Amino acid sequence: MSAIRTANVVGLGYIGLPTAAILAVNGIKVHGTDVNESVVEQVARGAVPFVEPDLGGFLSQAVGAGMLTASTAVQPADAYILAVPTPFHEDLSPDLGYVQAAAEAVAPVLEPGALVILESTSPPRTTEKVAEWIAAKRPDLVDADGNSSVLYAHCPERVLPGRIMTELVTNDRIVGGITAEAALKAKELYSAFCDGQILLTDATTAELAKLVENSYRDVNIAFANELSLIADELDINVWELIELANHHPRVNILQPGPGVGGHCIAVDPWFIVDAAPTLSRLIRTAREVNDAKPNWVLDKVADAVAGNEAPVIAALGLAFKPDIDDLRESPALQITAELADRYASGTVLAVEPHIDELPSKLANRRNVELATLADAARRADVVLLLVDHRQFRGTSPRALGIDTDKIVDTKGIWA
């Protein structure tokens, strides 16, 4: 196999851009492709279009050295990494439209021997679909026996937002090929920067492994969230309950919250349910428990503002997890939008220290303001703590002048 010297990363989002940057600073000449012209423009001049610690240094180094370029068009390369969204439809079935569009975008420039890697978290056998979509556009790349001259692999990301640049290097990596040759070729590419163990398997097993990892976490969070409902019913402090239970040497219960967000844990379990609907009963139930938690939070706010027809409600945090600006599938954002609709005569003060303007989901609601923590604490009739950002953890109701009976704390940092 010839060495990989160039790569084209399709999708310059939270995973694609860090991957492109780290490949580039490790000697692979990278071209990044994205349909968003604003993202392309920022990347091309070395600016990061979202918050991710340390990414700026990698990106500026790569762009400055001429090792990373960006445009809206795919460029010929030895390897292609597809890192595009994989959301789901309203009926919770997978939406592979972005993946198909990315596959069809690279098809015209492919040459025999090229490597196509799907990084997007995907339902089982999506990598095989990528090969089929490309073969439909480029039948010349498939011989009479149906064998492709292009290599296909799946390599799911396994990184934590806020630590991506570290975990890209240190975490073990799963690489699954449609063929053994494809897996080995993909391993060669990731070896350029990955110090963790690179584990080889087939593409479908690699796809399911990523879904299993996130479903495992979802089930455990659902247990904590269900405990919070039970504890509330019995008038017990759930945070104390979990702390006491976790003193058992073989018990490690996670912390409850307002729901589960992000593009992974809130989405991936549904891909397993879709693939095996009659067998994934526990996974489905966990998803239903976590998806229902925002309604329970809304009921708690309703109790707190009962009798006030125009309440001022402070919603602390919009991101799906602490200390980042990622709002994807965020229960905090969902709850804040619902509060604005339920209390149209009132005011919702959104406090999110990692953004400069309201997201589109809130910007069209006239009764929502982006506020500072101090302003929200001063004005609010009730304070709803949704995300345990460092800024919120580093203070207290007493320091902010908030009466404790005005607080609905879904994260337990002020409980």
The per-residue pLDDT for range 224-273, each reduced to its tens digit, is: 999 999 999 999 999 999 999 999 999 999 999 999 998 789 899 999 99
Q: What is the mean pLDDT of residues 355-383?
A: 95
Of all residues in the chain, what percent carry a pLDDT higher than 70?
Answer: 100
Q: Is the separation of the CB atoms in 331 and 260 below 8 Å?
A: yes
CA angle 213–216–188, rounded 5-degree value: 5
State how far the alpha carbon of 393 is from the alpha carbons of 291, 345, 414, in Å: 25, 31, 8
Closest by CA to 337, choosing from 280, 297, 308, is 297
At 339, phi and psi to the nearest 5? -60, -40
The per-residue pLDDT for range 275-332, each reduced to its tens digit, is: 999 999 999 999 999 999 999 999 999 999 999 999 999 999 999 999 988 898 899 9
In which band, very low, low, confident or very high, does the pLDDT at 333 lie, cut at 50, 70 and 90? very high
The per-residue pLDDT for range 21-65, each reduced to its tens digit, is: 999 999 999 999 999 999 999 999 999 998 899 999 999 999 999
SS3 track for 64-81: HCCCEEEECCCCCCCEEE
Beta strands in 329-371 (DSSP E): 347-351, 368-370
The per-residue pLDDT for range 187-221, each reduced to its tens digit, is: 999 999 999 999 999 999 999 999 999 999 999 99
The per-residue pLDDT for range 97-147, each reduced to its tens digit, is: 999 999 999 999 999 999 999 999 999 999 999 999 999 999 999 999 999
Site of tokens 């925002």: 294
- The predicted pLDDT at position 6 comes to 98
* Torsion on CA atoms 276, 259, 320, 217, rounded to nearest 10: -50
In which band, very low, low, confident or very high, does the pLDDT at 339 lie, cut at 50, 70 and 90? very high
Name the residues annotated as catalytic: 210, 264
- The model carries a pTM of 0.89
- The predicted pLDDT at position 1 comes to 60
> Alpha-carbon distance 394 to 372, whole Å?
15
> Alpha-carbon distance 343 to 289, whole Å?
25
Go through the domains of the chain in sequence order and give each one's CATH number.
Answer: 6-196 (3.40.50.720), 239-409 (3.40.50.720)
Q: Is the separation of the CB atoms in 198 and 186 below 8 Å?
A: no
3-class SS shares of the chain: helix, strand, coil, % to 5: 45, 15, 45
Sign of CA dihedral 37, 43, 44, 45: positive
Strands 151-154 and 173-177 turn out to be antiparallel
- The predicted pLDDT at position 160 comes to 87
For the chain, the average pLDDT equals 96
- The predicted pLDDT at position 51 comes to 83
State how far the alpha carbon of 390 is from the alpha carbons of 174, 216, 383, 393, 394, in Å: 32, 26, 17, 5, 6
DSSP structure string for 167-193: HHHHS-EEEEESSHHHHHHHHHHHTTT
Q: Is the separation of the CB atoms in 332 and 297 below 8 Å?
A: no
Q: Letter for the amino acid at 23?
A: L
- The predicted pLDDT at position 88 comes to 87
> Alpha-carbon distance 262 to 265, whole Å?
6
